[in-house]
């Protein structure tokens, strides 16, 4: 089964949902809760599918998982920070996110001439939906990401139509990308809100 590294809230609390820390997170960090649900509902089944496909797709799936977890930790840190984006704790987790996204992209480039190159390209393009963390206009980045992501996902679906696991892979990948974009629109239209454990949607956005 997939590595149990999603579900940041349960990892942070280390206990049941009745704990005071869980209660605090549920009450004060709505965008963290929202992102955590995406990891459990959308990322987990995708990674399990990549594990079933094995080889390079499995390895790249774990790199995407790592990048998603890094963004989750970034959001948790930002929500708890009392300073700005230059707060040492924020800088540290953002640096980890940048590295994870670089690893995701570079793996695709190194394996570009394999049979699974288009699968890896589609996985790597999801990284664009995670790269908005310190962008003052995240939705512009997200909208640009959709054009290249859709090109690769449609190509994979067309070229591997006879491969049942690929059909599931593409469907799950599409769902994850759309949910990541919807998360940004719900909570981060003007960028991440530092020190906002009590914040609601930054600009009152609605899901895509």
The per-residue pLDDT for 136 is 87
Helix (H) or strand (E) holding 171, with range, is helix 164-187
Spatial contact of 58 and 50, defined as CB atoms under 8 Å apart: yes
What global pTM score does this model have?
A: 0.83
Predicted pLDDT at 7: 53
**Given this model, what pLDDT does residue 193 score?**
67
> What pLDDT shows up at residue 48?
97
Q: Measured between alpha carbons, how far is 58 from 48 in angstroms, rounded to an integer?
A: 9
Average pLDDT along the chain: 82
Question: What tokens appear for 96 in the block?
Answer: 């980890």
Query: Which residue ranges in the chain fall short of pLDDT 50?
Result: 1-5, 9-26, 28, 198-208
* CB distance 69 to 116 below 8 Å: no
Measured CA to CA, the distance from residue 208 to residue 202 in angstroms comes to 16
The pLDDT value given to residue 86:
83
**Does residue 5 contact residue 69 with C-beta atoms inside 8 Å?**
yes
Q: What is the pLDDT of residue 197?
A: 55
To the nearest 10°, the Cα dihedral for 71, 69, 204, 20? Answer: -120
Between helices 117-126 and 55-80, what is the axis angle to 10°? 0
pLDDT by residue (tens digit) across 30-81? Answer: 899 999 999 999 999 999 999 999 999 999 999 999 999 999 999 988 888 6
């Amino acid at each position: 089964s997939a590595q149990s590294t999603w579900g940041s809230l349960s990892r942070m609390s280390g206990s049941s949902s009745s704990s005071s820390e869980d209660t605090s997170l549920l009450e004060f960090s709505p965008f963290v809760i929202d992102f955590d649900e995406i990891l459990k509902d959308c990322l987990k089944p995708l990674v399990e599918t990549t594990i079933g496909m094995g080889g390079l797709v499995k390895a790249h799936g774990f790199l995407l998982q790592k990048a998603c977890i890094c963004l989750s930790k970034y959001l948790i840190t930002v929500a708890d920070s009392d300073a700005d984006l230059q707060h040492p704790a924020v800088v540290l987790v953002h640096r980890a996110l940048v590295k994870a996204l670089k690893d995701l992209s570079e793996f695709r480039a190194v394996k570009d001439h394999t049979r699974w190159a288009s699968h890896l390209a589609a996985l790597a393009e999801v990284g664009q939906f995670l790269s908005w963390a310190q962008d003052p206009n995240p939705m512009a980045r997200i909208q640009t990401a959709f054009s290249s992501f859709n090109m690769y996902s449609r190509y994979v679906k067309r070229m591997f139509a006879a491969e049942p696991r690929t059909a599931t892979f593409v469907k799950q990948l599409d769902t994850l990308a759309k949910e990541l974009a919807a998360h940004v629109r719900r909570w981060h239209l003007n960028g991440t809100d530092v020190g906002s454990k009590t914040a609601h949607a930054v600009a009152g956005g609605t899901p895509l």
